[in-house]
Structure 1
Amino acid sequence: MPEKGKDAPTDAPRDGADAGSSAAEAYVVKDPEAFARNVARMLEQLGKAAAAWVEPREKGEVADTLSEPMADMVKTFSKVGEYWLADPKRAIEAQTSLLTGYFGMWTESVKRMSGETAEPRPKTTDKRFSDPDWDNNPFFEFLKNAYFITSDWANRLVADSQGLDEHTRHKAAFYMRQITSALSPANFLATNPELYKEMVASNGANLVRGMHMLAEDIAAGRGELKLRQSDASKFAVGDNIAVSPGKVIAQNDICQIIQYAPSTETVLKRPLMIVPPWINKFYILDLNPKKSFIKWAVDQGQTVFVVSWVNPDKRHARKDWEAYSREGISFALDVIEQATGEREVNAIGYCVGGTLLAATLALHAQEKDTRIASATLFTTQTDFTHAGDLKVFVDHDQIAAIEAAMEKNGYLDGSRMATAFNMLRASDLIWPYVVNNYLKGKDPMPFDLLYWNSDATRMPAANHSFYLRNCYLENNLAQGRMKLAGKTLKLGRVKIPIYNLAAKEDHIAPARSAYLGGRLFGGDVTFVMAGSGHIAGVINPPEAGKYQFWSDGPEGADFDQWVEGAKQTPGSWWPHWQAWIRAQSDAEVPARKPGGGKLKPIEDAPGSYVRVRV
């Protein structure tokens, strides 16, 4: 059992032998009988978790999906291994580098434990190692340092491997980050001082609660782990989340069209149409009144319409990009014209909704459809050359496997995409919740953003296959090869004004990628880069006073030059965008009620489509 000796480091909190004894007490089980009972109860709950995992597999309801990614990971790492093992000298140098790190760590640890002066210990800002005993207890400090040395060495092996093609190197680096994140000593009971002390203090009751939650989460995922990141019981769509007043004024097989009620006496004559991603639900733009972009836009005098996508099932298997363009965007344009009498609109597309909007604009340019007068792209890629870590999941073999999986039900289960997105930031979105929920036995805190993040949606087979192949795999939209409605799309033919918003720390649609894609359009493009990431960079109300944005960089510059020469402004980019919208057309009309007296509202916002859960 790890404990702190009397020769603890001088910077540890201590008052002679009493402090050492007190520190050791935290690792000693006080009630062995209660501890034994809880271990038995924990094993009982673990058995229930195992049963919840096995049962749907025995019934044939769930097919294991781990074999394909595991095989791909092994194949990828074998190529890294080939480089290092091909030259004995190179292999020995790699081993020597690791051993040198271990010997240096061991020497410093011995010095500290013997009371000698050692090199100052660097303090980590890694939240996984925030417990003081990671620094003050020699055992746990040794584990932490060994982990950092080993993980840094492993990541360098990938980075220094020569002869790998770009995609293989990208995959190897990604897989290595997943492995090193998973093997952190902070993730295991016996190697995490905080967990160890928690177990001792509660006589193992935390593990009973944790295994009970694990069984519940596997059962909720119907044989797959549905990791809870937020207390879902505290939120209800339409009650305390997605509450901006409005009406569903039209619907079809793949979407509902919501018009929001005005809050000003006059509004801009040109309505605003928002095309959100179908990979997640639209209410990220309407989490609550303080964070709601929709409410803020309404309060600025915008007549806001939102496309709320259906959560698809087997009936939607053949709904492809043309269907989403025609039955989503074009349908919304028809509805807006009916409700307001206005033919021209300002449009917003978010993430893949923005990619669809861009493709639709290129199609409209050929069809002489001028209804979309300006477009705003939120963290949108049209050129997927630098598409980030999601490209790890996209090659011919992996897409074929995904298509085979979708063939059975006609859609990709939402949990697959949710897991992929969580893996992009596993150290923040997976392992802290594994530790908190199943090892500490604590319920996650209520958090509206993470509630939305877990409210996954399915993807229709035809739509998702088209997206993966045409965008991530072949980059056809950027190359002028994408075909929609029988026409080959050219973004250069899009001449309308574009407001192209990227986010500096975006791991889904990297800012560099968004910038390069914006240069493909044939008209005036205003590029703006917000602080933070894919969500927080967009959902940043002015009242919060957070982050910053960059604008007015040098025209025609490459991305790095643009960033260097851009103007930085503290706070939200929302007012900057509103000024841009008004610069396109600032004519006003009296405020409009949902439906405009011409379309009978079907139901209150946020509608029924968005409430369907996977």
Structure 2
Amino acid sequence: MHQPDSPADVAVRGNRYAALRTLGHVREALVASANLGLSPESLLLSWLDWIIHLVGDPDKRVELAMRLTQALPALLTQASAPAPAPAPSAVESWQDRRFSSPAWQQEPFRTWARAFELTDDWWRHATRNVPGTDPHHEAVVAFVARQWLDFMAPSNQPWSNPEVLQHTLKHHGANLLRGGVHMLQDLQHKLAGLPPVGSEAFVVGRDMACTPGKVVLRNALMELIQYSPATRTVFAEPVLLVPAWIMKYYILDLSPHNSLVRWLVAHGHTVFCISWRNVSAAQRNLGLEDYRRLGVMAAIDTIEGLVPHRKIHALGYCLGGTLLAMAAAAMARAGDARLASLTLLAAQTDFTEPGELQLFIDHAQVHMLDSVMWLRGYLTAEQMSVAFQMLRSNDLIWSRVVHDYMLGERTPMRDLIAWNADSTRMPQRMHSEYLHRLFLNNDLAAGRYLVEGHPVALQNIRAPIFVVGTERDHVAPWRSVYKIHYLADTELTFLLTSGGHNAGIVSEPGHTHRHYRVRAKQATDSCLSADEWLQATPVHEGSWWPVWRRWLTRLSDRRRVAPPPIGHSLMDAPGSYVLVR
């Protein structure tokens, strides 16, 4: 007869299992450190899936062979032509900004550039629309091919870039010496953990994040800033800003001329903003529920005490917007009607199509990230930065290599670049929950996300919603942000603005070359698809900020009131948490 295991036997097996899991985590973390954080299993599975289906599909192979046989004669014809020849109709062509300079029209550079374009075009077709290949695997293979091609582009080599060669001859090689100095400076700053060269001109509290205010709440996760009024009377309803904790809050209070906070205060709004703590390994067990409870809900409770009997306009940016949507849905379920409106900036609520960032999010990749975070207790900003830079490697990596190191000209430091380099960390538990429950399982959109043991549904939110997407967003693509139309059951205004994830939001009035589209949907209106919405919505020139403020004004009490008193001051804005690197 089988004897039950003794507590000692169970403890031994548990310790043995824990030791094996620890060994597995360590192995995964070591592999990640040697592989730019990319899972080799994910890469291998993607390549096998693609190559097996490519080899097994004769139509695709014939198509690629025909493209090759058409491209080679076209290249030879161009090489012998005295002037740029038009691209053959059988081969797609586009204007690559890397080769837009007149210097690329000289031989042999023109032929090299055209050869690269044809090669790039061939690989685009080879890695796309291969019948039977998993779309995620196909995207991973296309991404890897693009990284390799960007690396091999003739514009990235000093001996094959005519602009660099002309610059070198003109300056007798001094540009390369300056570029070498720039490279050494950047390397020294990176190894020492210092901000990039030039960022010393942008000091938090002096040049950025300098709107006057007081820290009126501090807990283990955030500081709440109440900004000083700038007008004799104010709107009765305060505004709460909930930024993402993967970045410092002062993207919303950048320089005085482009600060959304300062602009709101100047137009008579009482503004509160959360400044998240830059966590360390000691906060590794903080989860999404902690951010909701100690962040959004703690801020709302504090504001209610300072501005009683008034509803709150709440705005969430990026991951802060996703969290705010969760909190608003939980409040609606509980009958909590303290929100006057909800504004979501570049924030996703449905993660079925999260864009190129999904390249780094599959089960194998998340398992590796879990191991890295288990070892450190948090996800470093460097790991996120590498992922974002690789998504736009030509713009964010290679163009700077050419400009700063080959041409020897420093890229001017701007407030947005200095802010972007002020990195943050994310706790292990929170980021793991975010990746598993939102990215992989899409629990929020599917109605499976639990708050205090109950599922939350965005359909329960009755407050009007204003949503902003940006045209060139590679973090939260606007079509993904638009999916809130299929989840919300209230008045919803969607605005699409020019720019990317950050520059599109920092779009102060008077900023040149800005435009937007906007359309409101009532709860009873038919829902358009994203492409139908794009076709039906006209373009307007200018900043989206005034459009949003008019929306806030419509939802606010017409009577202006005296500014509410500042809460108990712990210290002046921008506080202490934002200064922790």
**TM-score w.r.t. length of structure 1:** 0.83
Matched residue SS, 2:50: helix
Q: What residue is the counterpart of 1:119 in the other structure?
A: 85
Q: Which of 418, 429, 432 is 2:399 aligned to?
A: 432
Q: Which of 283, 291, 309 is 1:316 aligned to?
A: 283
Residue 133 of structure 2 corresponds to residue 164 of structure 1: yes
Residue 529 of structure 2 corresponds to residue 558 of structure 1: yes
- CA contact under 8 A between 1:227 and 1:433: conserved in structure 2? no
Q: Which of 99, 107, 113 is 1:129 aligned to?
A: 99
CA distance in 2, matches of 1:67, 1:516: 30
Residue segments in structure 2 that go unaligned for 5+ positions in a row: 1-29
1:266-311 residue CA offsets vs partner (Å, 9 max, x unmatched): 1111100000111111111122122111111111111000001111
Residue 552 of structure 2 corresponds to residue 603 of structure 1: no
Q: What percent identity do the matched residue pairs reach?
A: 35
The structure-2 alpha-carbon separation of the partners of 1:358 and 1:391, relative to structure 1 and needing over 3 Å to count, comes to: same
Residue 51 of structure 2 corresponds to residue 85 of structure 1: no
1:39-63 residue CA offsets vs partner (Å, 9 max, x unmatched): xxxxxxxxxxxxxxxxxxxxx9x94
1:118 CA displacement: 6.7
How well do the aligned residues superpose, as a CA RMSD in angstroms?
2.5
**Partner amino acid, structure 2, of 1:132:** P
The structure-2 alpha-carbon separation of the partners of 1:357 and 1:139, relative to structure 1 and needing over 3 Å to count, comes to: same
- CA contact under 8 A between 2:210 and 2:256: conserved in structure 1? yes
**Partner amino acid, structure 1, of 2:535:** E
Q: What residue is the counterpart of 1:178 in the other structure?
A: 147
**Partner amino acid, structure 2, of 1:187:** N
Q: What residue is the counterpart of 1:31 in the other structure?
A: none
The 5-angstrom pairing of residues 328-407 of structure 1 reads 328-407=295-374
**Partner amino acid, structure 2, of 1:159:** R
Aligned residues: 543
Matched residue SS, 2:231: coil
The 5-angstrom pairing of residues 270-289 of structure 1 reads 270-289=237-256
The 5-angstrom pairing of residues 147-226 of structure 1 reads 147-222=116-191
1:394 CA displacement: 0.6
Matched residue SS, 2:209: coil
- CA contact under 8 A between 2:179 and 2:406: conserved in structure 1? yes
CA distance in 2, matches of 1:223, 1:423: 23
The structure-2 alpha-carbon separation of the partners of 1:242 and 1:464, relative to structure 1 and needing over 3 Å to count, comes to: same
- CA contact under 8 A between 1:373 and 1:496: conserved in structure 2? yes
CA distance in 2, matches of 1:578, 1:417: 33
**TM-score w.r.t. length of structure 2:** 0.87
1:464 CA displacement: 0.7
1:423 CA displacement: 2.2
Q: Which of 488, 491, 510 is 2:455 aligned to?
A: 488
Q: Which of 226, 237, 260 is 2:227 aligned to?
A: 260
**Partner amino acid, structure 1, of 2:410:** D
1:303-355 residue CA offsets vs partner (Å, 9 max, x unmatched): 00000111110121111110000100111112212333345211000111000
CA distance in 2, matches of 1:78, 1:243: 53
Q: Which of 241, 249, 260 is 2:216 aligned to?
A: 249
1:179 CA displacement: 2.5
The structure-2 alpha-carbon separation of the partners of 1:164 and 1:87, relative to structure 1 and needing over 3 Å to count, comes to: closer
1:514 CA displacement: 1.4
Matched residue SS, 1:544: coil
Q: What residue is the counterpart of 1:297 in the other structure?
A: 264
Matched residue SS, 1:290: helix
CA distance in 1, matches of 2:354, 2:199: 32
Matched residue SS, 1:268: coil
The structure-2 alpha-carbon separation of the partners of 1:471 and 1:580, relative to structure 1 and needing over 3 Å to count, comes to: same
Residue 382 of structure 2 corresponds to residue 415 of structure 1: yes
CA distance in 2, matches of 1:508, 1:480: 23
Q: What residue is the counterpart of 2:27 in the other structure?
A: none
Matched residue SS, 1:422: helix
CA distance in 1, matches of 2:164, 2:84: 29
1:365-403 residue CA offsets vs partner (Å, 9 max, x unmatched): 222222222111111110112211111111111001001
1:139 CA displacement: 1.2
**Partner amino acid, structure 2, of 1:234:** A
The structure-2 alpha-carbon separation of the partners of 1:498 and 1:110, relative to structure 1 and needing over 3 Å to count, comes to: same
1:223 CA displacement: 9.0
**Partner amino acid, structure 2, of 1:80:** W
The structure-2 alpha-carbon separation of the partners of 1:290 and 1:146, relative to structure 1 and needing over 3 Å to count, comes to: same
1:188 CA displacement: 1.2
Matched residue SS, 1:250: strand
**Partner amino acid, structure 2, of 1:560:** D
Which has the higher mean CA deviation after the structures are superposed, 76-85 or 387-396?
76-85
Which has the higher mean CA deviation after the structures are superposed, 210-219 or 485-494?
210-219
Matched residue SS, 2:191: coil
Q: What residue is the counterpart of 2:556 in the other structure?
A: 585
Q: What residue is the counterpart of 2:540 in the other structure?
A: 569
**Partner amino acid, structure 2, of 1:72:** S
- CA contact under 8 A between 2:279 and 2:425: conserved in structure 1? yes
- CA contact under 8 A between 2:472 and 2:500: conserved in structure 1? yes
CA distance in 1, matches of 2:319, 2:180: 37
Q: What residue is the counterpart of 2:491 in the other structure?
A: 524
Q: What residue is the counterpart of 2:14 in the other structure?
A: none
Matched residue SS, 2:256: coil
1:591 CA displacement: 4.1
Q: Which of 67, 76, 79 is 1:106 aligned to?
A: 76
CA distance in 2, matches of 1:186, 1:572: 35
Which has the higher mean CA deviation after the structures are superposed, 184-193 or 483-492?
483-492
Matched residue SS, 2:257: coil
The structure-2 alpha-carbon separation of the partners of 1:331 and 1:437, relative to structure 1 and needing over 3 Å to count, comes to: same
CA distance in 1, matches of 2:282, 2:213: 28
The structure-2 alpha-carbon separation of the partners of 1:287 and 1:515, relative to structure 1 and needing over 3 Å to count, comes to: same
- CA contact under 8 A between 1:540 and 1:546: conserved in structure 2? no
CA distance in 2, matches of 1:153, 1:394: 27
Q: What residue is the counterpart of 2:22 in the other structure?
A: none
The structure-2 alpha-carbon separation of the partners of 1:362 and 1:397, relative to structure 1 and needing over 3 Å to count, comes to: same
**Partner amino acid, structure 1, of 2:187:** I
Matched residue SS, 1:585: coil
Residue segments in structure 1 that go unaligned for 5+ positions in a row: 1-59
Matched residue SS, 1:305: strand
Matched residue SS, 2:501: coil
- CA contact under 8 A between 2:491 and 2:520: conserved in structure 1? no
CA distance in 1, matches of 2:169, 2:44: 39
**Partner amino acid, structure 1, of 2:115:** A
1:194 CA displacement: 1.9
**Partner amino acid, structure 2, of 1:514:** V
The 5-angstrom pairing of residues 56-95 of structure 1 reads 63-66=33-36, 68-69=38-39, 72-86=42-56, 90-91=60-61, 93-95=63-65
CA distance in 1, matches of 2:34, 2:86: 48
